[in-house]
């Protein structure tokens, strides 16, 4: 098979499947029992995760797209589309969803705004022990931010409510942890604005790639691989 640039990875609840998204927003599923691979869904996918419960240990695949759509899929039936929910674009904050796997439904349970900063999370993770939602916004070295940057924010009350964004001094580890993770406690708004604009530009680029035909995708992959072999 041709080389793929992986942008997101998810493992099913019973460790039977691994799914990954490539740079074109195509999601591939690998069945670990026999190591077989196949394309299950194609779209503007930027992040994926499995959701599951004890009655459904394998779970369903949830995908997030740059067009602000969250979808639920059954990967065991060749990417059977189950349901979706459309979110508001250009919203600065976090939208919490709940899923009823038996009914194949998704619903919005809470909307949390992140005031005062041009903060677009590039990675989020829920701490099961503290029920805190940790969010990271980061940018690698580039012309707009040559030194790179990272910004960490934490939301409390995800499961118990009410939910709120914690001030820096109230997060576990406080400002000492932020200084370690971010390099400094505060990040200039101009740096965060430039990074947010870079994220929007990347989303726009992916929207263009969404329109590529399968033939054009394969041609671009071959061209990229040919260039690598000539160096």
SS3 letters across 71-92: EEEEHHHCCEEEEEEECCCCCC
SS (H, E, C) 104-169: CEEEEEEEEECCCCCCCCCEEEEECCCCEEEEEEEECCCCCCCCCEEEEEEEECCCCCCCEECCHH
- Sheet with strand 56-65: strands edge to edge: 45-53, 56-65, 69-74, 80-86
Backbone dihedral region of 81: left (phi > 0), alpha (psi from -120 to 50 degrees) or beta? beta
CA atoms within 13 A on the CB side of 11: 4
pTM of the model: 0.68
Residues contacting residue 155 through CB under 8 Å, at least 6 positions apart: 94, 112, 132, 133, 135, 163, 164, 165, 166
Domain boundaries, the chain: 1-113, 114-217
Q: What is the CATH number of domain 1-113?
A: 2.130.10.10
Each residue's pLDDT expressed in tens, for the chain with a length of 231 residues: 456 678 888 988 888 888 888 877 788 888 887 666 666 666 667 788 888 888 888 789 888 887 778 888 888 776 678 888 887 655 567 888 888 888 888 988 888 888 776 787 878 888 888 889 999 887 665 545 445 678 899 999 888 878 889 999 999 999 999 999 888 888 887 877 877 777 777 766 665 655 556 666 667 666 765 555 555
Q: Are 11 and 17 in contact (CB under 8 A)?
A: yes
């Amino acid at each position: 098979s041709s080389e793929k640039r992986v942008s997101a990875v998810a493992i099913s609840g019973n460790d039977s499947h691994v799914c990954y998204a490539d740079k074109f927003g195509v999601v591939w599923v690998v069945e670990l029992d026999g190591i077989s691979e196949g394309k299950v869904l194609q779209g503007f996918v930027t992040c994926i995760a499995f959701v599951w419960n004890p009655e459904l240990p394998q779970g369903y695949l949830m995908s997030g797209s740059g067009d602000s759509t969250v979808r639920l899929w059954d990967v065991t039936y060749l990417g059977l589309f189950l349901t979706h929910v459309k979110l508001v674009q250009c919203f600065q904050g976090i939208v919490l969803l709940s899923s009823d796997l038996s009914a194949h439904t998704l619903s919005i349970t809470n909307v949390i705004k992140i005031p005062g900063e041009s903060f677009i999370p590039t990675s989020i993770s829920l701490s099961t022990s503290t029920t805190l939602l940790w969010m990271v916004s980061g940018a690698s070295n580039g012309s707009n931010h040559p030194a790179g940057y990272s910004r960490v924010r934490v939301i409390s009350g995800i499961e118990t409510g009410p939910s709120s964004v914690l001030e820096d001094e109230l997060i576990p580890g406080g400002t000492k942890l932020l200084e370690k993770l971010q390099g400094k406690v505060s990040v200039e708004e101009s740096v965060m604005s430039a990074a947010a604009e870079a994220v929007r530009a990347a989303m726009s680029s992916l929207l263009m790639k969404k329109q590529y035909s399968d033939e054009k995708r394969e041609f671009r992959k071959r061209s990229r691989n040919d260039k690598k072999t000539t160096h």
